[in-house]
Amino acid sequence: MITKFYLHNFKCFQNLELELSSLNLLSGLNGMGKSTVLQSLLLLRQSHQHREDIRLNGDLVELGYPQDAFYENNTDDIMRLGLNVSNHTILKWEYDFDAYKDIFKPRSTPNFSELENVALFNDKFHYISADRWGPRVWVPLADHEIHHGNLGKNSKYTIHYLVEFGDKPLPNPEIPHKDGSKSDLLTQTKAWLDEICPGTQLDVEAIKEADIGKAVFSFKVDYGITRNFRPTNVGFGLSYTLPVIVALLSLPKGGLVLLENPEAHLHPRGQTLMGKLMAQVAAAGVQVIVETHSDHVLDGIRVAVRDPNYLLQPEQTRFHYFGRENGQIQVTTPSIDEEGRLDNWPAGFFDESIHNLAALSSRSHRERAKEII
């Protein structure tokens, strides 16, 4: 597990240091650097196969030219990325930036062997981008990708992954089975999809002769189950939610999931349940780092901490809020107690509902005053 994370002269950060735990929530205003944190991790994974070279553009992330990745108001010419992992190993990547040639030159990098057991660099990893494949009638198949644990950053291999591995038990037996159902990946995925999007049924199929796969949805109704519907006729929510569930359920203990906006196209109750699912997965030993704008996801995690059935301890969570103070990005980290209460609510940290309720209450008070007059 990654326990600490460092950046120096990377994109919008001159210096950044974050403590990480099992379940990590990154929130804040737009343009404050949340995505930069995930991009830096993806950059390290993307560059891993190139040994000392840094690969700014690839399948996981596209950062442009070196000048785009280097902090604009730098005071030195070194870009540094660092990780502490749970076996007390400190990993550092340092590059010299040559502004004249617009290139990075390797200064020092970890030994290749040091990275083999870190989930960020092996097959115990999933990344689900905010830019997911929406509803599609057909999706591609990719044997090599799914057998290396790759759902595709846009989640386009999710259906093939479920077809291939759906009948296998969950890789992490410590993740509680939903509603006492069978322990295989497909059954558990269906059970969680039905919980998050009530009444939803899922069927998946691969047509290998054509290198395509498909998913269809049906729904529980009073008279039984509806006919099957193609994804393009049931909206975006199901297609956006399915790969997030699969990513969370399909890794063994010690795995790592990076998620962007798991709440996208999902109703508030479903967002809360998504937070609870992430809590269960993190408590079972899979590290989750999620960027979100949803107070419902946050509340789902807080409820899970308070509920002993979820087994998530307060110290297993980190909430990082990215804001700006005096023109500089500042990160605030509220602590959570065993009752799910936070010790600090920085301005802008999921407080908009409170402000809106206050405004509505104030207006209501004024209207009543007018009636009395």
Query: What domains can you pick out in the chain, each with its CATH number?
Result: 1-122+294-360 (3.40.50), 125-253 (no CATH)
Residues 267, 271, 274, 276: is their CA dihedral positive or negative?
negative
Is the Cβ–Cβ distance between 228 and 258 less than 8 Å?
Answer: no
pLDDT at 371: 62
Half-sphere exposure of 205 (CA within 13 A, CB side): 11
pLDDT at position 108: 92
Which DSSP symbol is given to 228?
A: P
d(CA 252, CA 281): 10
User: 331 by DSSP, 3-state: which?
Assistant: strand
Please tell me the distance from the alpha carbon of residue 367 to that of residue 183, in angstroms, as a whole number: 57
pLDDT in tens, 307-364: 998 889 999 999 999 998 877 888 999 999 999 999 887 776 666 677 677 777 765 5
Report the candidate in 322, 320, 357, 316 with the shortest Cα–Cα distance to residue 340.
316
SS3 state of residue 140: strand
Residue 169: burial class (beta carbons within 10 Å; 0-12, 13-18, 19+): middle
What distance in Å separates the CA atoms of residue 111 and residue 106, rounded to the nearest whole number?
13
CA 242-244-245 angle, 5° bins = 65
pTM: 0.92
Q: What does the buried/exposed string (b/e) look like for 275-312 if buried means 16 or more CB atoms within 10 Å of the residue's CB?
A: bbbbbbbbbbbbbbbbbbebbbbbbbbbebbbeeebbb
Using CA atoms, how far residue 317 sits from 19, 69, 278, 301, 313, in Å, is 10, 29, 11, 9, 7
Taking every pair of Cα atoms in the chain, the longest distance, rounded to a whole number of angstroms, is: 79
Look up tokens 């209207």; give the residue: 367
Alpha carbon separation from 198 to 2, 110, 221, 267, 276 (Å, rounded): 35, 47, 11, 11, 16
Specify the pLDDT at position 153. Answer: 86
| 3-class state of residue 45 by DSSP | helix
The pLDDT assigned to 367 comes to 64
Which stretches of the chain drop beneath a pLDDT of 50? none
Q: Do residues 23 and 316 touch, judged by C-beta distance below 8 A?
A: yes
Residue 342 region, left (φ>0) first, then alpha (ψ -120 to 50), else beta?
Answer: beta
Q: How far is CA 78 from the centre of its chain?
A: 29
In 198-294, which residue ranges form alpha helices assigned H by DSSP?
A: 237-249, 268-283
pLDDT of residue 139: 94
Q: Which two tokens stand for residue 168?
A: 């296998």
What is the Cα gyration radius of the chain?
22
